[in-house]
């Protein structure tokens, strides 16, 4: 089975008409990986400048190595494999800072006004022998500069890989120590099929006590019960993906009762093979059940997508009415990892800005 990366051309006329509106409206992305946000042109330039050993220096020939393409079979492990080559591109401080800056600039260009960008210091540092603390500081400096240059607010989340528990405590300490510099949370991501949360419980509970927020990738590829485990054992306040909750009524009820937001990434869910086709995506069913769902990009460059594309996917493919897309943006504002006063201001700002879009016919 193959999947077309950007099926938006196949959407109906009504959806195509929505593109300018969705592009221009202010949006929030809560689930975007820095390591999946690299421009192909930047990859080629970094490879050329720093002598990264690659099969090709051409952006178009690099594409199938680092991006899901039309003839790729949708598969969770195939999707994760794209990240392995990317680790070779973080070849200098300048490269890391450039990639972080451009990730924020690209989000701002898509009219994202609030972004939570997650990054894995191990992925950015290990191949080159960089210090994890240094890499975190480079990302902080670059995102601060990008915020000054573009009309966007950014907060950072430190991501821990499930297959690298040996680094968990060190990464949590890096995040805790930099809460005054824009790091607001911890994330656990990666292969949830082969790597359970057992080795991470103490670290996440400690980080919560130190003031960090927690979001966990759960029930993306693994079973629905992983969501309950993420909430009960790791203190998850939000769930990354969570689409397999649709298989368990009790888990859907838990999400609704506790009002745990889901960070939904439609294109990614197709490319990992977790959803066979967009019309079967549970995003709108979750919404109708009262679960606070949000729309996000996951990995813009790997998936060749933008948040505007994701909203169009949700609307034209998964059947979410436009007014409910606007409500999902409000859900995202309410789920932001910000102090209550800042969060209230963010919610109010978006409510005011989105009012004109809700009132206009679509």
> What percent of the chain has pLDDT above 70?
94
User: What does the pLDDT read at residue 7?
Assistant: 42
Instruction: Give helix 132-149 / helix 93-109 axis angle, nearest 10°.
Output: 40
Q: Among 102, 113, 142, 97, which residue's Cα sits nearest to residue 29?
A: 113
Task: Check pLDDT > 80 for residue 277.
Answer: yes
Instruction: Tell me the pLDDT tens digit for each residue of 234-262.
Output: 999 999 999 999 999 999 999 999 999 99
* 233 — pLDDT class (breaks 50, 70, 90): very high
- Out of 12-26, 145-159, 285-299, 302-316, least confident range: 12-26
* 10 — pLDDT class (breaks 50, 70, 90): very low
Instruction: Tell me the pLDDT tens digit for each residue of 281-300.
Output: 999 999 999 999 999 999 99
Instruction: Give helix 59-66 / helix 40-50 axis angle, nearest 10°.
Output: 110
- Out of 51-55, 64-68, 142-146, 183-187, least confident range: 51-55
Compute φ and ψ for 82, nearest 5 degrees.
-60, -25
Residue pair 266/317 in contact (Cβ under 8 Å)? The answer is yes
Residues annotated as part of the active site: 220
Which homologous superfamily is 7-359 in?
Metal-dependent hydrolases (3.20.20.140)
* Signed CA dihedral, 284, 307, 70, 55: sign only: negative
* 14 — pLDDT class (breaks 50, 70, 90): low
Q: What is the mean pLDDT of residues 65-86?
A: 85
Task: Check pLDDT > 80 for residue 58.
Answer: no
* 15 — pLDDT class (breaks 50, 70, 90): low
The rounded Cα 16 to chain-centroid distance in angstroms is 24
Query: What whole-number distance in Å separates Cα of residue 107 and Cα of residue 306?
Result: 8
User: What does the pLDDT read at residue 19?
Assistant: 96
Domain range annotation of the chain: 7-359
Q: Given the DSSP bridges, would you call strands 183-189 and 153-161 parallel, antiparallel or unpaired?
A: parallel
Average pLDDT, the chain: 92
Instruction: Tell me the pLDDT tens digit for each residue of 88-100.
Output: 889 899 999 999 9
């Amino acid at each position: 089975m193959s999947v077309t990366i950007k099926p938006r051309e196949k959407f109906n006329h009504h959806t195509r008409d929505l593109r300018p509106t969705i592009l221009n409206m202010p949006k929030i992305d809560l689930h975007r990986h820095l390591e999946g946000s690299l421009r192909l042109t930047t990859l080629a330039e970094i490879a050329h400048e720093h002598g990264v050993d690659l099969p090709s220096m051409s952006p178009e020939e690099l594409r199938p190595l680092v991006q899901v393409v039309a003839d790729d079979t949708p598969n969770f492990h195939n999707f994760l494999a794209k990240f392995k080559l990317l680790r070779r591109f973080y070849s200098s401080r300048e490269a890391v800072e450039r990639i972080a800056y451009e990730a924020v600039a690209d989000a701002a260009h898509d009219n994202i006004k609030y972004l939570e960008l997650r990054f894995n210091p191990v992925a950015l540092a290990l191949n080159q022998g960089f210090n994890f603390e240094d890499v975190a500081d480079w990302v902080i400096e670059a995102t601060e500069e990008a915020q000054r240059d573009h009309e966007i607010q950014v907060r950072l989340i430190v991501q821990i890989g499930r297959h690298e528990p040996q680094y968990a405590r060190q990464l949590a300490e890096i995040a805790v120590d930099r809460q005054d510099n824009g790091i607001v949370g911890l994330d656990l991501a990666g292969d949830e099929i082969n790597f359970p949360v057992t080795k991470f419980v103490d670290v996440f509970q400690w980080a919560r006590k130190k003031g960090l927020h927690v979001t966990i990738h759960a029930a993306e590829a693994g079973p629905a019960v992983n969501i309950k485990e993420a909430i009960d054992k790791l203190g998850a306040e939000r769930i990354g993906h969570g689409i397999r909750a649709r298989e368990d009524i009790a888990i859907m009820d838990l999400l609704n009762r506790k009002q745990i937001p889901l960070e939904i990434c439609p294109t990614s869910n197709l490319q990992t093979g977790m959803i066979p086709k967009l019309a079967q995506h549970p995003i709108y069913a979750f919404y109708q059940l009262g679960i606070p769902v949000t729309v996000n990009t996951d990995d813009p460059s790997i998936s060749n997508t933008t948040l505007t594309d994701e909203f169009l996917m949700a609307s034209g493919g998964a059947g979410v009415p436009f007014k409910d897309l606007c409500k999902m943006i409000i859900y995202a504002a309410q789920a932001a990892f910000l102090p209550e006063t800042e969060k209230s201001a963010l919610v109010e700002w978006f409510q005011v800005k989105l009012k004109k879009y809700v009132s206009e016919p679509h």
